[in-house]
């Protein structure tokens, strides 16, 4: 057990990671496919950029925020001759669930470098948590497929299991409780969305933004690798700046780059620094 100290100088106790775009599904494509299919089925096509705007929040809230966007509001009114209601949002969420489950099943491939990060954490005795804006009913297949590839987090929390999802800190805090964390400042939240960074900051944790593999760039691995170096540099810089502006303590390209950062955080903890 860690003894409580006013100034914590102990080791890193836990890392808590998002799912899509951070540990699986390079480009965070599954939610986008599902949201676009959902709105198209109602005669209101939405762009990938629109679909990504609220990424990281709980999915019913994501639908609500999409419906509140002026362009989508106007298109819905044209298609339906009425504004969206709460009943519409609830009905769309019910339609969304099977679309999301199917999309997750198609994209649940571990992002390269995750297993090396997990091995490092295991060797250090650091617990690993996961959380997500997905509902618990959406992720059974994801958990099974991730496990078959070597990833089973010690704790997993979905947005539907807490009073409020991101940017509220409740999911990360529930992870910390389940992992037996004694000092929140000894935890790191790793996420590919700005709202996920807000979650970690609001929980009093260190935060690492994942710039390339997730929502900020929003490209599959094949599409990213097909870009020339100049275009990659342009997109990388923009994504890194967005995370820095959101208050992330560190920003990396993908989960493959986090171990040196985690080692840096350990040194800062040892010297008494806090997030």
What amino acid positions are annotated as catalytic residues? 18, 59
Q: Which DSSP state fits 24?
A: B
Two tokens at 146?
């991730």
Whether residue 216 contacts residue 260, with contact meaning beta carbons closer than 8 Å, is answered with no
CA distance 113 to 151: 12
Question: Which of 196-200's residues contact partners 24+ apart within 8 Å by CB, and which partners?
Answer: 196/18, 196/22, 196/56, 196/166, 197/243, 197/246, 197/247, 197/248, 198/166, 198/167, 198/246, 198/247, 199/56, 199/166, 199/167, 199/168, 199/169, 199/171, 199/172, 200/16, 200/169, 200/172
> What angle do the packed helices 170-178 and 194-202 form, to 10 degrees?
60
CA atoms within 13 A on the CB side of 23: 29
């Amino acid at each position: 057990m860690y003894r409580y100290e006013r100034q914590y100088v102990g080791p890193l106790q836990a890392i808590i990671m998002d799912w899509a775009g951070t540990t699986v599904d390079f480009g965070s494509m599954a939610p986008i496919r599902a949201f676009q299919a959902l709105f198209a089925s109602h005669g209101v096509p939405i762009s990938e950029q629109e679909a990504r705007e609220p990424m990281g929040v709980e999915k019913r809230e994501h639908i609500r925020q999409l419906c509140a966007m002026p362009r989508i509001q106007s298109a819905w009114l044209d298609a339906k001759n009425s504004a969206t209601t709460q009943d519409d949002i609830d009905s769309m969420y019910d339609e969304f669930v099977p679309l999301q489950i199917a999309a997750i099943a198609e994209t649940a491939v571990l992002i390269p470098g995750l297993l090396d990060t997990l091995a490092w954490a295991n060797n250090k005795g650091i617990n690993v948590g996961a959380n997500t804006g997905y509902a618990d009913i959406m992720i059974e297949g994801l958990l099974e497929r991730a496990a078959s590839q070597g990833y089973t987090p010690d704790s997993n929390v979905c947005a539907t299991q807490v009073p409020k999802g991101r940017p509220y800190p409740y999911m990360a805090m529930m992870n910390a409780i389940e992992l037996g964390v004694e000092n929140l400042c000894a935890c790191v939240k790793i996420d590919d969305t700005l709202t996920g960074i807000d979650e970690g900051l609001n929980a009093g944790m260190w935060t690492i933004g994942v710039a390339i593999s997730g929502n900020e760039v929003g490209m599959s691995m094949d599409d990213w690798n097909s870009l020339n170096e100049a275009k990659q540099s342009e997109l990388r810089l923009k994504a890194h700046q967005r995370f820095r502006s959101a208050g992330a303590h560190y920003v990396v390209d993908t989960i493959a780059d986090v171990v040196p950062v985690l080692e840096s955080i350990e040194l800062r903890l040892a010297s008494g620094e806090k997030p």
